[in-house]
């Protein structure tokens, strides 16, 4: 086993950070480390945190993590950094908010980009989850920007997805109704110190009523992340979902599906790389010349190249 992998498994924080960087930058040999890490994964419980911008995702993560830490568990946090310059300020703010957490030896915080090659959570994020798992985290939080694709991706990559809502979404709830139902395993109405929190909770309950055949009906609770009120209930609800997944066998199914998707992405990535490499060979350029002179058609050329990729 490589020295760095050994140190990560022993729980060395600096090596954990170093390995994530190696994987993020795809430094030579990174896949060998991931292969070695793999059998030490599967113990951590992965929680995705999502919700509209400004709903209090960072504040909630901070408080949940502190709650978990009071029980002595080790926690990893991956904050997904939106690549858009638009939200940069908010992310800097998040870092400041979680500053005191980063001083805690039992907490590992990392922010990562959204640049997934296939539009999903980047491979680096999925790999970082595995590294943190092998490092010994009991819980790993993935906090995302609550927009579009990243919300869907977080569901695929988490065991439990916590959907944060805030009072006064009103019509927005109607608009996102269908999508939201699929996304949240646990709902929390944050900023319950503001007017209308109970009404929002009721609206979500009504929305959940539309579906009759829940195997696990998502619990809904009120919370004031800023003061910590309701954090214990939110955590209990996450654990309720965890217990359900574990006792029903759904957790294994979920992880099977996740691996299936990840393997597919890895294969696609590897093939795309081979296709890209082909573009630069003289041999291909010569064959392309022949498509112009009609000595060969482009379809036969594609067959030749596929054969070449398979056989080389």
Applying CB under 6 A, which residues contact ligand GTP? 51, 53-59, 90, 93-94, 145, 190-191, 193-194, 224-226
**CA neighbours closer than 13 Å in the CB half-sphere of residue 261:** 16
CB 263 → ligand GTP: shortest distance, Å?
31
CB 60 → ligand GTP: shortest distance, Å?
7
CB 76 → ligand GTP: shortest distance, Å?
17
Output 59 or 157, the one with its CB closest to ligand GTP: 59
Task: Compute the 3-state secondary structure of the chain and give helix, strand, coil in percent, each to the nearest 5.
Answer: 55, 15, 30
Interacting residues of 27 by C-beta distance below 8 A, sequence separation 6+: 21
CB 87 → ligand GTP: shortest distance, Å?
6
CB 91 → ligand GTP: shortest distance, Å?
7
Interacting residues of 32 by C-beta distance below 8 A, sequence separation 6+: 2
CB 144 → ligand GTP: shortest distance, Å?
9
Output 51 or 136, the one with its CB closest to ligand GTP: 51
Whole-number Å distance between alpha carbons of 312 and 144 = 40
Output 68 or 224, the one with its CB closest to ligand GTP: 224
CB 266 → ligand GTP: shortest distance, Å?
30
Output 21 or 87, the one with its CB closest to ligand GTP: 87
Whole-number Å distance between alpha carbons of 45 and 109 = 16
DSSP E strands in the chain: the ranges are 45-50, 75-81, 107-113, 139-143, 160-165, 186-189, 220-222
Q: Residue 196 — left, alpha, or beta (φ > 0 → left; ψ -120 to 50 → alpha)?
A: left
Output 169 or 251, the one with its CB closest to ligand GTP: 169
Using CA atoms, how far residue 21 sits from 16, 24, 181, in Å, is: 9, 5, 35
- C-alpha dihedral sign at 104, 43, 161, 192: negative
Q: Residue 54 — left, alpha, or beta (φ > 0 → left; ψ -120 to 50 → alpha)?
A: left
CB 88 → ligand GTP: shortest distance, Å?
10
CB 86 → ligand GTP: shortest distance, Å?
10
Output 90 or 284, the one with its CB closest to ligand GTP: 90
- Cα–Cα–Cα angle for 170, 174, 178, rounded to 5 degrees: 145
DSSP at 215: S
3-class secondary-structure state, position 77: strand
Tokens of residue 161, six digits: 């997805």
Output 36 or 226, the one with its CB closest to ligand GTP: 226
């Amino acid at each position: 086993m490589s020295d760095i992998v050994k140190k990560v498994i022993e729980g060395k924080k600096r090596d954990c950070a170093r390995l994530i960087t190696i994987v993020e930058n795809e430094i030579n040999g990174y896949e060998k480390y991931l292969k070695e890490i793999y059998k030490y994964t599967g113990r951590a419980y992965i929680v995705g945190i999502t919700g509209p911008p400004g709903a209090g995702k960072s504040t909630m993560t901070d408080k949940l993590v502190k709650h978990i830490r009071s029980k002595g568990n080790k926690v990893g946090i991956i904050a997904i950094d939106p690549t858009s310059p638009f939200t940069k300020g908010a992310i800097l703010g998040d870092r400041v908010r979680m500053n005191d957490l980063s001083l805690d030896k039992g907490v590992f915080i990392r922010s990562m980009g959204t640049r997934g090659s296939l539009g999903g959570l980047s491979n680096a994020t999925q790999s970082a989850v595995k590294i943190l798992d092998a490092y010994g985290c009991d819980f790993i939080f993935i906090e995302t920007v609550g927009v579009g694709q990243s919300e869907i991706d977080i569901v695929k990559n988490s065991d439990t997805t916590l959907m944060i809502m805030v009072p006064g979404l009103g019509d927005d709830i109607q608009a996102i109704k269908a999508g939201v139902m699929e996304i949240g395993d646990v709902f929390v109405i944050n900023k319950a110190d503001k007017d209308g929190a109970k009404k929002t909770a009721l609206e979500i309950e009504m929305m959940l009523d539309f579906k009759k055949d829940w195997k696990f009906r998502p619990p809904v609770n009120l919370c004031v992340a800023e003061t910590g009120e309701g954090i214990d209930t939110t955590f209990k609800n996450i654990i309720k979902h965890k217990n359900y997944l574990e006792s029903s066998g759904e957790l294994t199914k979920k992880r099977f599906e996740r691996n299936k998707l990840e393997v597919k992405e890895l294969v696609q990535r590897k093939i795309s790389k081979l296709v890209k490499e082909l573009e630069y060979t003289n041999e291909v350029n010569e064959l392309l010349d022949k498509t112009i002179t009609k000595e060969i058609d482009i379809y036969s050329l594609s067959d030749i190249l596929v054969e070449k990729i398979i056989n080389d």
